[in-house]
């Protein structure tokens, strides 16, 4: 089958392309912005990528067009598909029809931590010898790629609540039909498609409805939004996740420990995870991954040992470089809760050393200003704050932030300000869910110039 993917350079659609290619299909695709690393990865797999949405890409008529959710009516490629009557589907539906049938799907959903928890879970299964397949919205450092078929029925997938396609407004994850489901947390996000938290909870309820009675749902016991989802109806066994203590309810428990964290399965004994990951949020991610892996048959002791070797995920507090004693990190945080937990984790690691936080409010929710009132408090863990204010923001950043935050409408000026302020021992955390005009190598180069001066 010749599969042509519109929006192929996105992380999800690019991963789907790799899976389709591994299944033996002829794969091609198109996108508006074709650039490394995805363009390089696709080229290495022999996948031709057309830049732009013109009709020339359809000269070799595909058997199926897979349309990404970033494409809308009015897009020339979409209009061509509809007018010519070409067969088309969405990425999640294609996965369901061609790959996820007859697999043991382990899905990770929630507002925060999906990519990291999915990566941890895939790593645990790999270390346990289960050789899972996976499709993750990021690149686990240990695997070096975001998707693969695997060699066993186990398949780990990051289950996103964003809508499926212009013709299917259900959340992507309703197509995956997991046997093991992790619900990490739930807050209001994706304001461009969801009117309120209740609208998101409805989609999560639809997801819960797809988990079989011989499956397992894992969720934190203290998340009120998720409890409300479960209360809408649940037909699957559940296990809860939360902090430990003598008076803690039954379920999976965790506690902070020096150099890592401790965990205890229901009715079991405490074990210690020793690792380099930062923050309480990663301990909760790790706890969920261990619990999900146990449902797939991995002993808790094996999972704990595997977590000790987990090397992280690209763009999740990834160290991009060190210059003159200054460390530059890349992080995907783009929601106040994620920003706050990221800075909290780093603060515990670096103590009194200075943290310089650089934020690009790029996501649709950020651009609309839905969480703008919470941003100053979320950045309180940093010593210096730098905010990029590009054209297209629907809110006035100067009215939200006080004089403690420096605002810039040009990335070059922001780089100069950060480089001029940074000194040995500082930690610069750059937070964005996009490319941020290639800021990381540009800043590192500028710091190099200052170090040589």
Q: Average pLDDT in the 432-448 region?
A: 89
120, 284 contact by CB (below 8 A) = no
Q: Is the pLDDT of residue 130 over 60?
A: yes
Each residue's pLDDT tens digit, 322-377: 999 999 999 888 788 888 988 988 898 889 999 999 999 888 778 887 788 888 89
Q: What is the CA radius of gyration of the chain?
A: 22
Query: How far is C-alpha 4 from the chain's CA centre?
Result: 25
Q: Is the pLDDT of residue 160 over 60?
A: yes
Each residue's pLDDT tens digit, 201-213: 999 999 999 999 9
Which residues pair with residue 406 across a beta bridge?
Answer: 386
The yes/no answer on whether domain 318-452 falls in CATH 3.90.190.20 is: yes
More confident residue, 370 or 319: 319
Rounded Cα–Cα distance for residues 219 and 184 (Å): 6
List the domain boundaries for the chain: 2-90, 102-307, 318-452
Listed residue (415, 416, 409, 333) closest to 375, CA to CA: 333
Q: What is the pLDDT of residue 317?
A: 81
Q: What is the pLDDT of residue 11?
A: 85
DSSP, collapsed to helix, strand or coil, labels residue 295 as helix
Average pLDDT over all residues of the chain:
91
Listed residue (59, 51, 6, 38) closest to 167, CA to CA: 6
Rounded Cα–Cα distance for residues 91 and 70 (Å): 11
CATH class for the region spanning 102-307: alpha beta
Q: What is the pLDDT of residue 453?
A: 54
Each residue's pLDDT tens digit, 44-86: 888 999 999 999 999 988 999 999 999 999 999 999 999 999 9
Each residue's pLDDT tens digit, 260-282: 999 999 989 999 999 888 888 88
Q: Average pLDDT in the 222-242 region?
A: 96
DSSP character at residue 173? G
Q: Is the pLDDT of residue 244 over 80?
A: no
More confident residue, 450 or 78: 78
Q: What is the pLDDT of residue 250?
A: 80
Q: What is the pLDDT of residue 44?
A: 84
Say which range, 28-42, 85-99, 177-191, has the weakest mean pLDDT.
28-42
Q: What is the pLDDT of residue 141?
A: 82
Q: Is the pLDDT of residue 452 over 60?
A: no
Q: Is the pLDDT of residue 247 over 70?
A: no
Q: How many helices (H) and strands (E) does the chain have?
A: 15, 23
2, 63 contact by CB (below 8 A) = yes
Domain covering 2-90 in this structure, CATH number: 3.40.50.720
Q: Is the pLDDT of residue 248 over 80?
A: no
């Amino acid at each position: 089958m010749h599969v042509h993917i519109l929006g192929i350079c996105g992380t999800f659609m690019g991963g789907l392309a790799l899976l389709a290619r591994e299944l033996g299909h002829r794969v091609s695709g198109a996108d508006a912005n074709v650039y490394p690393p995805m363009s390089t990865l696709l080229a290495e797999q022999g996948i031709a990528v057309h830049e732009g949405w013109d009709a020339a890409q359809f000269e070799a008529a595909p058997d199926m067009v897979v349309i990404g959710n970033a494409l809308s009516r009015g897009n020339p490629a979409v209009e061509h598909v509809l007018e010519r009557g070409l067969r088309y589907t969405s990425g999640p539906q294609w996965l369901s029809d061609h790959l996820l049938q007859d697999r043991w799907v382990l899905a990770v959903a929630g507002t925060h931590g999906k990519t990291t928890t999915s990566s941890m879970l895939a790593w645990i299964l790999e270390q346990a010898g289960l050789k899972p397949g996976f499709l993750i919205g990021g690149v686990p450092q240990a695997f070096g790629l975001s998707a693969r078929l695997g060699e066993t029925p186990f398949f780990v997938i990051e289950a996103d609540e964003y809508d499926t396609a212009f013709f299917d407004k259900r959340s992507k994850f309703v197509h995956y039909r997991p046997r093991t489901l992790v619900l990490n947390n739930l807050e209001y996000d994706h304001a461009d498609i969801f009117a309120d938290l209740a609208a998101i909870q409805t989609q999560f309820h639809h997801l819960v409805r797809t988990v079989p009675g011989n499956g397992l749902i894992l969720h934190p016991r203290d998340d009120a939004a998720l409890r409300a989802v479960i209360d809408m109806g649940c037909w699957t066994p559940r296990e809860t996740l939360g902090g430990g203590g003598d008076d803690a309810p039954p379920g999976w428990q965790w506690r902070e420990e020096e150099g890592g964290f401790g965990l205890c399965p229901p009715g079991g004994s405490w074990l210690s995870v020793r690792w380099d990951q930062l923050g309480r949020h990663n301990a909760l991610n790790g706890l969920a991954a261990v619990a999900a892996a146990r449902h797939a048959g991995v002993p808790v002791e094996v999972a704990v040992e595997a977590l000790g070797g987990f090397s992280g995920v690209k763009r999740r507090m990834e160290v991009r470089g060190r210059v003159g004693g200054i460390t530059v990190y890349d992080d995907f945080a783009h929601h106040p809760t994620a920003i706050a937990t990221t800075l909290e984790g780093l603060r515990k690691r670096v103590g009194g050393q200075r943290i310089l936080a650089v934020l690009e409010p790029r996501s649709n929710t950020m651009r609309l200003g839905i969480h703008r009132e919470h941003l100053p408090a979320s950045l309180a863990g940093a010593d210096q704050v730098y905010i990029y204010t590009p054209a297209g923001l629907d809110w006035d950043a100067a009215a939200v932030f006080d004089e403690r935050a420096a605002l810039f409408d040009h990335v070059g000026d922001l780089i100069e300000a950060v480089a001029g302020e940074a000194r040995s021992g500082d930690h610069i955390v750059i937070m964005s869910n996009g490319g941020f005009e290639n800021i990381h190598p540009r800043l590192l180069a500028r710091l190099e110039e200052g170090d040589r001066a």
